Amino acid sequence: MDLAVQTRGLSKSYAGVHAVDGIDLEVPRHSVFGFLGPNGAGKTTTMKMLLGLIRPTSGSGSVFGLDITTDSPRVRGRVGYLPQEPRFYPRMTARETLRFAAGFFYSGPADAIEARIEEMLELVGLSGKADRPVKTLSGGETQRLGIAQAQIHQPDLLILDEPAAALDPLGRRDVLAILEQFRATSTVFYSTHILDDVQRVSDIVCILKDGRIVSQGPLEQVLAGGSESVFVAVVE
Ligand code: ATP
């Protein structure tokens, strides 16, 4: 199988806490991978290890065959990341925000950069609000801007930490619809604690609890229970 992400026994411990405890992930290229688990399951810690922002205590991992500990700058060159609580300059407009991000990641003629920004604004449904300061955007619009920013340099893998969790049902639906569109051009690895989200938009699902994988595989297989039954109760 052609994998975007693979880990073997990946673990991270903090004094007395096994945040991530020996996980083996397999994320096929061009899949939407739903990483499902309750608060504190270890989702953010796993994502940060894949990005090289946290060093594993033990185990290994690769992104497009690049080692996550020894090759992390090259990994980051191929990955777009939306943290759980993205921060923006409130007075910058949406367009300026994307131009600022593009300055770090995207080299090329100015008109190509502007065209890319326009394309991203269109994709996330912000074309009509492109020249408004970020502080005037709604939560859902801000989150969609974050997705556009993570995607500005055309990464092969998008890692999105709870991109829809803080939104109302309509906002979540919009964000999930955007994720689905990225399947054709890249691989999407996103976390959520909401079962309904992975049911709506995922090809492969991994359920994490207390740092361990409870179940992993194609959506229908995991939700059907496979060899073991899985129950996830979410209280919102
Ligand atoms: P949430 O959805 O609440 O963000 P999560 O699944 O992303 O949850 P993590 O943030 O990865 O979970 O945390 C996993 C566990 O590791 C938690 O018990 C957390 O308290 C612990 N943890 C994370 N970072 C640290 C740290 N720097 N020091 C100590 N413990 C930590």
| pLDDT one-digit tens code per residue, 192-216 | 999 989 998 999 999 999 999 999 9
Q: Over the chain, what is the mean pLDDT? A: 90
- Closest atom of ligand 1 relative to the 47 alpha carbon: 11
Best residue among 20, 44, 57, 209 to mutate for probing ligand 1's pocket (most ligand atoms within 8 Å of CB) is: 44
* Cβ atoms of 24 and 38 closer than 8 Å: no
Supply the residue whose CA is at minimum distance from atom 26 of ligand 1.
Answer: 14
Q: What pLDDT is stored for residue 230 in this prediction?
A: 52
pLDDT at 228 over 60: no
Q: Is the CB of 16 under 6 A from ligand 1?
A: no
- The encoded tokens of residue 230 equal 């899985």
For 30-59, write each residue's pLDDT tens digit.
999 999 999 999 999 999 999 999 999 999
- Closest atom of ligand 1 relative to the 39 alpha carbon: 3
- The encoded tokens of residue 82 equal 């939306």
Candidates 41, 85, 18, 33; CA nearest to 63 is 33
* Cβ atoms of 23 and 7 closer than 8 Å: yes
